Structure 1
Amino acid sequence: MRFIADLHIHSHFSRATSKNLNLEHLYRWAQLKGVQVVGTGDIAHPGWLEEMKSKLEPAEEGLFRLKKEYVHAIQEEVFKACQGTVRFMLAGEISNIYKKNDKVRKIHNVVFMPSFEAVEKFQARLEKIGNIRSDGRPILGLDARDLLEIILETDPQAYLIPAHIWTPWFSLLGSKSGFDSVEECFEDLTPHIFALETGLSSDPPMNWRLSALDRYTLVSNSDAHSPQKLAREANVFNTELSYPAIFKALKTGDPVKFLGTIEFFPEEGKYHYDGHRKCGICWSPKTTLQNRGICPECGKPVTVGVMHRVETLADREEGKKPERWHPFRSLIPLPEVIAEALGMSEGSRRVQEMFEMLLNQLGSELEILQDIPLEEIRQKAGSLIAEGIRRMRCGEVFVKAGFDGEYGVVRIFEEHEREGFTTQLGFFTEEMPSSALQSLTNILPITPVPSSEYPYRATMPLLHELVNGTVVRDKDPKPEKESVANPSASGSSILSKLNEQQIEAVRYMDSSLIIVAGPGTGKTRTLTHRIAYLIHEKGVLPENILALTFTNKAASEMQERLVQLLDHRLCQEVMVKTFHALAAWILREEYEALKLPANFIICNEQDRHLILKNIRPDLSEAQIKSYLEAISKAKSYGWETREKVTFLQKIETELPDFKQIFDAFNKSLTRYGLLDFDDLILSVIQLFNQNKKILEKYQKRFCWIFVDEYQDINLAQYQLLKLLVTPETNLCVIGDPDQAIYGFRGASREFFLRFHEDFPDAKKFQLTRNYRSTNMIVEASSQVITKGRESQRLNLWSEVVSNTKLEIYFAPTEKAEAEYVVHQIERLIGGTSYFSLDSGRAENDPLVSGISFADIAILFRISALARPLEEALQRAGIPYQMVGETPLFQRKELRPVMSFLRFLHNPNSDYYLIQLLSSVANISSQVLAEFSTQAGENKSTLLEFLNEKLKQKELKVAGQEFFAQIMQMLQDLVHEIGNHKIIDLIELFYDKFYRESTEVKSKPVQTLKNLARTFATNLSGFLEHTALQTGADDYDPRADHVSLMTLHACKGLEFPIVFIIGCEEKLIPYERAGQVSNPEEERRLFYVGMTRAQHKLILTHTKTRFLFGQRLLSKPSRFLNDIE
């Protein structure tokens, strides 16, 4: 029996998939497409398993059919010409992310099971490893080899096929996170791998280039995220319709049983060529090599695509076939053929009507595309559609390769070619060649019309050329862009990618300098090129350079940029840190001078909250928050300054007993061997003022100091900087006073504005060309900021031209606002097809084509606005990440394990032992605090005190035996802590205290474990890293998720598409408890949000909004009126 199988799809339980991905719709679309065997997808998800068990019943061995009651409900929606047999195979994709051979691996694998019993057994194993309930395709921190072992142990007929093996990010041979061979991945279990899925970005000839793959059967599947995408790739069998027969054909590769594959045009795949989608760079492998793999726009490595990866691993000439190979055919979906022939969008009513008419009168889509004679198609659809199908069958198409996540485009016709045809049904205006009327009833092999008859302008070789090995590559491809300076570059080449304003700033050496740089003007680029210029051209030693930032993200980005400009060793010698990270580093070096414990710990916000609560149990949560904010602000005023004295006098009128509480709080920190975030800088200032010899050591080392985002500096940071800078220091600061948004926590743009008073000889430069945003966004945001009385009025400009206008949307309620945003996201994500873009301004603009979820950000003034958005996104199945809230390592579920690790790092600190024992043992923190006081009176630690009490049998607690075991375990660990890997300590903790808890499998715990592995036994570094993290650092640019964040958290980021919701009075500018925040700072904050947008900016406001328990009438923000 000849049949077609599509074995790798998803269900509605997978993120970013259609709600219609259920068994009924799969049954319907399988018939419309012409598929007889469909993989169920997502067999690892318990919810999908229950749904399958309720709707499917056994059919042929190992296959299932839809139950009759569900068939009756859907079968009338299937045209009679398409109706046929449909069977389901239990299959699903697993995402494996793990570290192997010192490299992070991200591999997707498709798993197949012969029975529901096997699936249940498989899920039971997986649930012990990771979270399999939040996504149909679970992400497991499990070696792919170990996954295969679990599969083999589950059932003798359970199998694994590596998925889309060439995709850069998530595949077996992917350039970003894959392996160089199947054996490297699966090791001793490699013989159990018998088939490989080529994926949308590769076809069989590309895989034939590697002789190491000759023994594997190449399969193709759709990886469909909606029923309509079924069979865009599929497999053709000629065997018994059963699970064992299908896999016997794949294992043996018998050409009589396995007839080959139906392929997507590989150039259409999202990762066929190399490039940067956001930078508009698309390169062939040779061009990438000529440019040394570096994007000329952003200076980062381009995403290496499938063709490049194939070229890298290939050991066989292009066009050569292995001894064992299977035929294939590349097809274009019928709606796309119709759409191009009619000159309409794929989603138009006319195209859909034609598509349905052809299915109704001729048969399934695959039959029409492959088997039905062209004359029959012409009679029903007209000459142009028939000609389009003929050309597709012969591989006579024009292709533009996909790259870096953007689908490629395949075209059949030039616009002028339509003039010779009519699309009226059943008529010709001219005779087609007789060759076009041949009936191509056999699926394979392809017999093309001679290519000399068609003057193609394809950017990639024709598919029939690839099959026959007649392709001729460009012998001397020209690079689209010049490369960025390489590690051995001269000064002139380092400057070659800078504009005149940037070059002036980079080359200036006569004195300190201040650079006023608007948003998107290349601040980081200028700073990093200046650092590279100093080292390459001026001979400055890298260890004499200090670059200071305000966020961990900015520091990481600066280091990444330097890697592209400098030798790796030199990069490591340049110190790039945040102000707080620099202070922590200095304190670790000089702790003895301040009489700090060597293993002092940086406490987090939860610790500060608990310490204050212990000092004043009578304070409410709101009062504690106010006192902690005031404590932090007091410390931001530096060491022994007039401003600090003034603040302390003023705050006493607002917060009674503040001075007393402030002193008690600091004494508690000292007692527990803790420093809070603000103490770091303050302690270094104190150190430098008290020890001039230590200060001189750092002054001599850091002769060249850079400060990014100088407008965000506070008085304490200013004091530290002034201490480090001497008359011999060259100081370079860069920033934009119009983006100063942190005044509420002590930052002051006045330090930027008075820079020339502090450094009279300094030179001022300006950067005014915006490379990020379109001219319309630059103009609109400039209108907002220049209306402010404190604006610097930089004359910003952009050459990025777009027909996409800024949009302001008015919604009746916050729920309607959220639904509008979700609808716009769905429209943007679905607005691109292979031939054309759907109608609408956004979709017609090439700047917003190929959008992914990761390209979209939704911004708001306060986090309380996010709830309706989250609900709407969840209903739509749109994946999102919430950024800027509680940092990951401060979340409630991680507090016990973090207390455990912090205690082991500093066992002399009773604080974390109290937190640990109160969470895992049946004893209250109040009782433990009393014991701690008694221990202090006896000059011992709490650990020593409790162990002695247990030894003397003077301590009685509930669960006495378990408590004694805990104390003995802690005592043992303290004495041998340096011998343990952090990951082992974490595993020990959860095995001891949370073995049966679902928290062990939560994403935060898995993230913690993954980070721990990178620090090995360096517990001090691990704890410092987690302590210095902020909520904004949780943003993951690699996640294909929409980003939700506050306007403050979005600083330093950029997105092609930005929504700013809640553009209303009392929100923007924000009014708290009847008091309006600094209106000029609020204006700057709105400006920062607007300038995050690269290509499209949408501002929304509502008539009414439910917020803080009441329905409020809203007015549009005053800032909207400034936009002309």
Structure 2
Amino acid sequence: MKFVADVHLHSHYSRATSKNLNLEHLTTWAQIKGVEVVGTGDIAHPGWLQEMKEKLEPAEEGLFRLKEEFLQSVQEEVPKACHGRVRFMLAGEISNIYKKNNKVRKIHNVCFAPSFEALEKLQTELEKIGNIRSDGRPILGLPSRDLLELILEVDPECHLIPAHIWTPWFALFGSKSGYDSIEECFEDLTPHIFALETGLSSDPPMNWRLSALDNYTLVSNSDAHSPQKLAREANLFDTELSYPAFFDALKTGDPESFLGTIEFFPEEGKYHYDGHRKCEISWEPKTTKEHGGVCPVCGKQVTVGVLHRVDLLADREEGVRPENAQSFTSLIPLPEILAQVYGVGVNSKRVQKSFEGLLAALGPELSILQEIPPEEIEQVGGPLLAEGIRRMRSGQITIEGGYDGEYGTIKLFEKSERDSLSGQSTLFALELEKGSTKETQEDEGESIPAGHPPERVRVDIAISPLNEEEREADRLDTNTTSMEDSVQRQSNQDSPPQGLNSQQQEAVSCTDRSVVIVAGPGTGKTRTLTHRIAHVVKKEDVAPENILAITFTNKGAEEMQRRLETLLKTEVAAGVTIKTFHSFGAMVLRAEADRAMLDNNFAVCSESDRRLLFKMVNPDVPEKEVDGHLDHISWAKNHLLTTDSPGLVNVYRNEFIEIYKQYEKGLRERGILDFDDLIVRTVDLLERHSEIRVKYQDRFRWISVDEYQDVNMGQYRLLKVLVGSKTNLCAIGDPDQAIYGFRGANREYFLRFRGDFPDAFMLHLHQNYRSTQPILEASSQVIAEGKGPKGEELCSEIVGKAKLQMYRASTYKAEAEYVVHTVERMVGGTSYFSLDSGRVTTEEEKDSRPFSDFAILYRLGALSKPLEEAFERSGIPYQTVGGKALREYKEIQQILTYLRLIHDVDSRFHQEVLEASDMGRSASPGDIERFLHELREKAGIDRVSSLTEHVSRFINPEDTGDGAGKRTERVERLLRKANGYENRLGEFLEAMALQKEGDEYDPRADRVTLMTLHASKGLEFPVVFIVGCEEKLVPYQKGEEEPDIEEERRLMYVGMTRAQERLILTHADKRFLYGRTMQNSPSRFLNNIEDALKELEKAEPTKKQTVNEPSPQLELF
């Protein structure tokens, strides 16, 4: 059977779409248009899925129809001449924005699912990747190839069709952010692509110019943002009505099954040709090339159109038709033809009335435009309308193509022609006037067979004037936007040299004695350390086993290991011990467990475990005092003050000492250590047992320490005891970046390095390879105002003219919105709304960036909430780092507790935790024990990720409550971490216990990063925002305590020097934080920056918007 299908459109859950995009209105307008198969749109949105499940029921295989209780009221509103069958296919668009091959890619893809079951699975997988709830067309930082892989893994009957492939933005071949070939985009999965959507901006002949597209079926869909726009482009089939038959026709391209497409005239698109609207210059690609792309009026580059992009990729001349080319028909919407017939606007009352009458008399719009003979149309609509449709069918039209944002126009009649013919259409005009009489209104609802002239018929179908929202959506429907000019943006980011600069080379080759290196931000600390290690292995014949490198974070250790593997053979690099201070302590304590009086299977408790244990052993301590006591215990341990230390009484009162003793007793009885014990117990072990100390001094003759300015007393003592008479020590750091005083760190240890190691040589690294000179100057001005010794002044050869942006917001919410809108602009727009609404200009889009280029930094984790809410609303993908660690979330704690009991059957503490919690509450104690026993049998054999998945399903087999998506995403993150440990469960558990705030950052995630200033240490981003630059926040003042201004200044310096190209500092006049409203003045640190480096930006006053009152037109419902 023959039918028309339009399967790419949207629902009311998508941004900038009509609120009428629901299943009822779609069913109505599908019949009015003559479409039988309609895509549901927005299949990634959970809310839309629920609505579909409520209102749709299965029809033919893989298709759905509106349930009878909803259909009945719909049919009452549709002219009987238009009544027809409507089926829905589960289909919707996903926006993929990511970086690949050093270019930002923005690709829209239409995905299809054969069933609600498959769709539910698909949504579960998509929600693990990004936010699918804030926009019907979600933005995912996922390559198109990986999206295709994901949907095929969900169900092999799922399919993907690249959308509107020529649109400059958001398209497979888009000049702004697309590819030059399908294979470059989809790689090994290219064979699973069988159809391409040409979009409103191109028609089949334009696509025929590329022989690479010959084996693909070219499809067309409306991409409708309002129901009235349905079927402005569509597809013609002659198959059985089913999902499999539909896709079989597309896969084979059989002309007997897939009959071709209904097209929009691409010249109507507002960026079809090249040109300059302001200069009234409109060119074809050939003319643009002749002029070198330069406008002769203003001398600037012209805006290049879609036709030009096709011309660039084409390997055929115009007019060549491939053997397997499908047929197509180009149409003009009936209301637009009526507007030309009358010489009035398309939304005028006269056009609307005529449209109603034609539908009632002749049937669906597509039938009128394509099939009904002109003489029948003339009987109802008069000779001018019949002539207009005849000319459209024969291609007798005049087109002025769109360019540089100016829509193209199509003319069917010259004014003189319309005037000469209009006298013949008096009968039609009179018939329409009769339609408004009382007699006609009484005859409302009477059925008139198609093909007969209406006799006093009036139908309640109107093209109602669009409200503001719908008018914007209508404006955005055209899938064409500006192309980039011929000037290619060049990065101002100079990479560090392939080799080493003279200062770095000196540090690497200085191996005859210990060395301390003062290295400011971006000077290549890790690079220098890594090259030095490789140098001593290659040139000094040092065995890798004799080298110890200590990093500040686990992420830093991983990075150093990766770099070392590029300089040495993998197996040689693996011999070097690279640890944090705490992981090194854990390694020693496990190896020497007997002498340390520990079980070699001891567990390291997490922060939440510490808290739980503290409350177990100190039940009388008020809840509000627990965290304070734990902080003091940590401070004491960092200063090596144990409960047996004589000096403890000089610092703390007896009440606290007793609490401290109970806490330590609780740890000992349960055979567990806390994080700080890994240093305390290791120092104690090495200092008390000389033979063990000498053993490790002999083993590690070469020690390198990164971020030495942030060591505390315990770490300092550990290093001192490790350094023997034959040890070569290399310490590197920057006293201007010492930011962990609140944890007991003291930069004095760095400053007195040469006093501790008199033979040490001091070197300085001055050359910055990260930031532009203006950023370095501004950050240097902030740190220069501080007291005490300073690091070395840095220089940068990276050219950058951009000043620091300073933004003052009225409120913290306005500040968050500013950040989101600025990211959106710098990304070059995340949707057509960004571009067409003016939020993003063409100039801004030229330098579009990936989401991973952006970091939003703040002093306190509490400042992240309004930012997270703003990013959620925008749909822009983001990750939050430096707040709550993954292991501290309840669902992750539960999984880790089970895994610990699998690994260590005798863990008393974790058994207590299990019994005191609701983990697996639905299971009996016997069931839990049997489950644990079963997995213990598999431990050491099965992969850690497999065990983790088993535990997750056992604890919470069906998580469908509030926040299920976030919980699922966190469990997925845990599984990804577990993947790297194969069957080494113990190592995985220890790694999770030793995580630090910065370890949560995933540089591979194509997302905006939200993180604390502390967590940003050691990282870099092209664009950095520091929000909340206000007194009492930066510098931070806790209650009435005096802030540590110098450390806060260094923290600000660290944040500023994370920026490579752009630095934006914001503050708000009013902020709600910790339950109260604050009105803080701008941070004093902002005043340290000279005005010449600042670019002040103020919030624009909100414009009052006038909402037009709806005209008294007839509504559809």
Please indicate the TM-score interval, normalised by the length of the shorter structure. 0.5 to 0.7
Q: Which residue does 2:370 correspond to in 1?
A: none
How far apart are the structure 2 equivalents of 1:182 and 1:1009?
29
Q: Which has the higher contact order (CA 8 A, sep 6+)?
A: 2
Q: 2:925 pairs with 951, 954, 963, which one? A: 963
Alpha-carbon spacing, 1:832–1:979, altered in 2? closer, same or farther (3 Å): closer
- TM-score where L is the length of structure 1: 0.64
* Aligned 8 A contact 1:703 1:730 in 2: yes
TM-aligned CA deviation for residue 985 of structure 1: 3.7
* Aligned 8 A contact 2:46 2:132 in 1: no
Q: Does 1:916 align with 2:914?
A: yes
User: Secondary structure of 1:23's match?
Assistant: coil
Match runs of 1:458-857 below 5 Å: 496-638=498-640, 646=647, 648-653=648-653, 657-790=655-788, 792-830=790-828, 849-857=847-855
Question: CA-to-partner distance for each residue in 1:249-268, whole Å, 9 max, x for gaps?
Answer: 213222563659999x9xxx
Question: CA-to-partner distance for each residue in 1:1005-1026, whole Å, 9 max, x for gaps?
Answer: 2332343344333210110111
How far apart are the structure 2 equivalents of 1:858 and 1:225?
35
TM-aligned CA deviation for residue 608 of structure 1: 0.8
How far apart are the structure 2 equivalents of 1:255 and 1:528?
63
Match runs of 1:327-366 below 5 Å: none
| Amino acid of the structure 2 residue aligned with 1:1019 | L
User: Secondary structure of 2:613's match?
Assistant: helix
User: Secondary structure of 1:857's match?
Assistant: strand
Question: CA-to-partner distance for each residue in 1:336-386, whole Å, 9 max, x for gaps?
Answer: xxxxxxxxxxxxxxxxxx9999xx9xx99xxxxx99989933499899999
How far apart are the structure 2 equivalents of 1:130 and 1:382?
36
How far apart are the structure 1 equivalents of 2:843 and 2:534?
37
Match runs of 1:15-26 below 5 Å: 23=21
- TM-score where L is the length of structure 2: 0.65
Q: Which residue does 2:1077 correspond to in 1?
A: 1111
| Amino acid of the structure 2 residue aligned with 1:1038 | R
Question: CA-to-partner distance for each residue in 1:381-431, whole Å, 9 max, x for gaps?
Answer: 8999999xxxxxxxxxxxxxxxxxxxxxxxxxxxxxxxxxxxxxxxxxxxx
TM-aligned CA deviation for residue 914 of structure 1: 1.1
* Aligned 8 A contact 2:494 2:769 in 1: no
Question: CA-to-partner distance for each residue in 1:144-173, whole Å, 9 max, x for gaps?
Answer: 899658747xxxxx64348799999999x9
Q: 1:1061 pairs with 1020, 1027, 1032, which one? A: 1027
Q: Which residue does 1:982 correspond to in 2?
A: 944
Alpha-carbon spacing, 1:252–1:799, altered in 2? closer, same or farther (3 Å): same
TM-aligned CA deviation for residue 971 of structure 1: 5.3
How far apart are the structure 2 equivalents of 1:356 and 1:500?
72
Q: Which residue does 1:1023 correspond to in 2?
A: 989
| Amino acid of the structure 2 residue aligned with 1:48 | W
Alpha-carbon spacing, 1:483–1:208, altered in 2? closer, same or farther (3 Å): farther
Alpha-carbon spacing, 1:59–1:128, altered in 2? closer, same or farther (3 Å): closer
Match runs of 1:318-329 below 5 Å: none
| Amino acid of the structure 2 residue aligned with 1:698 | Y
Question: CA-to-partner distance for each residue in 1:835-871, whole Å, 9 max, x for gaps?
Answer: x999999979889921233322222111222222233
Alpha-carbon spacing, 1:619–1:379, altered in 2? closer, same or farther (3 Å): closer
| Amino acid of the structure 2 residue aligned with 1:1109 | G
Q: Which residue does 2:159 correspond to in 1?
A: 160
Match runs of 1:56-75 below 5 Å: 62=63
Alpha-carbon spacing, 1:129–1:736, altered in 2? closer, same or farther (3 Å): closer
Q: Which residue does 1:440 correspond to in 2?
A: none
Alpha-carbon spacing, 1:969–1:380, altered in 2? closer, same or farther (3 Å): closer
TM-aligned CA deviation for residue 813 of structure 1: 2.1
Alpha-carbon spacing, 1:502–1:162, altered in 2? closer, same or farther (3 Å): farther
How far apart are the structure 2 equivalents of 1:833 and 1:841?
10
| Amino acid of the structure 2 residue aligned with 1:995 | P
| Amino acid of the structure 1 residue aligned with 2:1041 | Q
Q: Does 1:376 align with 2:371?
A: no
* Aligned 8 A contact 2:21 2:225 in 1: no
Q: Does 1:1090 align with 2:1056?
A: yes
* Aligned 8 A contact 2:531 2:567 in 1: yes
TM-aligned CA deviation for residue 702 of structure 1: 2.2
Question: CA-to-partner distance for each residue in 1:872-923, whole Å, 9 max, x for gaps?
Answer: 3333333332211221122112222221111222222211001112224799
* Aligned 8 A contact 1:889 1:1026 in 2: yes
How far apart are the structure 2 equivalents of 1:1116 and 1:683?
45
Q: Does 1:1099 align with 2:1097?
A: no
* Aligned 8 A contact 1:804 1:845 in 2: no
How far apart are the structure 2 equivalents of 1:1113 and 1:57?
56
Q: Which residue does 1:247 correspond to in 2?
A: 247
How far apart are the structure 1 equivalents of 2:88 and 2:801?
47
Paired residues, what number? 861
How far apart are the structure 2 equivalents of 1:174 and 1:968?
52
Q: Which moved more, 1:794-803 or 1:608-617?
A: 794-803
TM-aligned CA deviation for residue 19 of structure 1: 7.0
| Amino acid of the structure 2 residue aligned with 1:964 | G
Q: Which residue does 1:858 correspond to in 2?
A: 856
| Amino acid of the structure 2 residue aligned with 1:726 | G
How far apart are the structure 2 equivalents of 1:563 and 1:22?
58
TM-aligned CA deviation for residue 768 of structure 1: 2.0
Q: Which residue does 1:112 correspond to in 2?
A: 112
Q: Which residue does 1:1045 correspond to in 2?
A: 1011
How far apart are the structure 1 equivalents of 2:538 and 2:346?
63
| Amino acid of the structure 2 residue aligned with 1:649 | V
* Aligned 8 A contact 1:543 1:574 in 2: yes
Q: Does 1:1032 align with 2:998?
A: yes
How far apart are the structure 1 equivalents of 2:22 and 2:1013?
43
| Amino acid of the structure 2 residue aligned with 1:1055 | F
* Aligned 8 A contact 1:832 1:850 in 2: no
TM-aligned CA deviation for residue 1065 of structure 1: 1.2
Alpha-carbon spacing, 1:382–1:689, altered in 2? closer, same or farther (3 Å): closer
TM-aligned CA deviation for residue 123 of structure 1: 4.5
* Aligned 8 A contact 1:608 1:676 in 2: yes
| Amino acid of the structure 1 residue aligned with 2:1083 | S
| Amino acid of the structure 2 residue aligned with 1:1062 | G
Match runs of 1:930-969 below 5 Å: 962-969=924-931
Alpha-carbon spacing, 1:579–1:261, altered in 2? closer, same or farther (3 Å): farther
TM-aligned CA deviation for residue 1067 of structure 1: 1.1
User: Secondary structure of 2:1028's match?
Assistant: coil
TM-aligned CA deviation for residue 1085 of structure 1: 0.7
User: Secondary structure of 2:1006's match?
Assistant: coil
TM-aligned CA deviation for residue 174 of structure 1: 11
TM-aligned CA deviation for residue 987 of structure 1: 4.3
How far apart are the structure 2 equivalents of 1:1013 and 1:60?
42
How far apart are the structure 1 equivalents of 2:740 and 2:580?
16
TM-aligned CA deviation for residue 753 of structure 1: 0.6
The sequence identity of aligned pairs, in percent, is: 43
How far apart are the structure 2 equivalents of 1:195 and 1:174?
11
Alpha-carbon spacing, 1:4–1:683, altered in 2? closer, same or farther (3 Å): farther
Alpha-carbon spacing, 1:374–1:95, altered in 2? closer, same or farther (3 Å): closer
Alpha-carbon spacing, 1:815–1:726, altered in 2? closer, same or farther (3 Å): same
TM-aligned CA deviation for residue 481 of structure 1: 14
TM-aligned CA deviation for residue 560 of structure 1: 2.5
TM-aligned CA deviation for residue 815 of structure 1: 2.2
Alpha-carbon spacing, 1:786–1:371, altered in 2? closer, same or farther (3 Å): farther
Alpha-carbon spacing, 1:721–1:841, altered in 2? closer, same or farther (3 Å): farther
How far apart are the structure 2 equivalents of 1:517 and 1:149?
48
Match runs of 1:1002-1017 below 5 Å: 1002-1017=968-983
How far apart are the structure 1 equivalents of 2:633 and 2:652?
12
How far apart are the structure 2 equivalents of 1:742 and 1:619?
28
Alpha-carbon spacing, 1:148–1:1043, altered in 2? closer, same or farther (3 Å): closer
